[in-house]
Structure formats: C-alpha cells, structure tokens
Amino acid sequence: MSIFKCHRVMAATSAVVAAAGMMLLPSTAAAGPVRSTDVAISAQQVDLMASAACVVRDGVGTTGREIEGNPRRYKYDDSPYLGARFDSCGDSIKIYFGGSTGMTHYNLRHGTGHQQELSPRKAGVLTIASPSGYQGRNYSFAVQACNRGGTFQPSSCTRWSPSVVVRLG
C-alpha cells in the first residue's frame, strides 16, 4: 500500500474512532463502564469506514462481447475470455482469464508491450501489483491461448482476446 493510501486509511480510521468515542462517552457516563460489545461495535465501524476509503474498479472491454462473470469478462468467438479488477487498498489488479481447453499455455500482454507466459488453467486468476507511474491512468490487458510447437517450431495460438482496460488509482 502506498504511503498516500495508508495515510487516507489512517485518517479515516482516526475520524471514526474519534466520532465513536464522542458518541460512546455520554452514554457510558450515564450507563456505567464500557462493555466489550460497545468496543466490538466501534471496531466494526472502524473496519467499515476504512474499507469505504478503498476503490474497486472493473476493467472494460474495448471490443468483443461481454460474457457472464464477476468481474465482467470479454472475448471473441475464437479467443479466451479476459476480465480485470483493480483494488486500491491492495494496490493490485486481479486478471481473470480462461475458456480455452487443451492448450499448453496462455500469453498475457499488458501495459505497453509487457508479455508473460502463464500456465494452462481452465479458469485462471492472476494477481499482480499495480504498476508504478499509472496512478489515475488506464492500464490494458489482452490474452491468447497457445499450443507449444515442436523443436524449432513456433507455438500455434488463438486470436488475442479483446483488450480490457482498467483505470488505476
């Protein structure tokens, strides 16, 4: 978590604790000592307020068709599906991909030309750290499914999925 995000969560938490204390003090003065249930409720309020400071944003496909799934996922008839979700509190992006069977690997392309090979899965989820320098900007992904070629032979791959763009920050 970046120092700025940590500061926002701490500020929100402090505000809730202060407000809970102000609301708790008059009632406890009249009713007696603080009960453990009063403290537990205040802790729940703190957790709720801290999580309210987080932003979770789903990626959007630029083309292709949307298919069922959470988050939204996009594909062409001859490509794997792809979806993405940004989480500001975790400062991470979860990439959801799959839908191709009998393949040896997936290629994931992201950002400005980064590509990595992923192991085959019927439905995969990959979590990556949010890239630095993209705060408040869009970040894109595409995936293809492949079968590895023989010795000195190239892999045969599906069409790239539709690009999925997620706004960071």
| CATH at 126 | 2.60.40
What predicted TM-score, i.e. pTM, was given to this entire model? 0.66
Whether residues 32 and 110 fall in one domain: no
Which amino acid, one-letter code, is at 27? S
Range of the domain at 111: 56-167
Question: Residue range 88-99: average pLDDT?
Answer: 93
- 80 pLDDT more than 60: yes
Whether residues 74 and 146 fall in one domain: yes
> Lowest-pLDDT range, 30-44, 101-115, 152-166?
30-44
- 139 pLDDT more than 60: yes
- Count structural domains, the chain: 2
Whether residues 20 and 77 fall in one domain: no
Whether residues 48 and 66 fall in one domain: no
Whether residues 45 and 90 fall in one domain: no
Whether residues 62 and 123 fall in one domain: yes
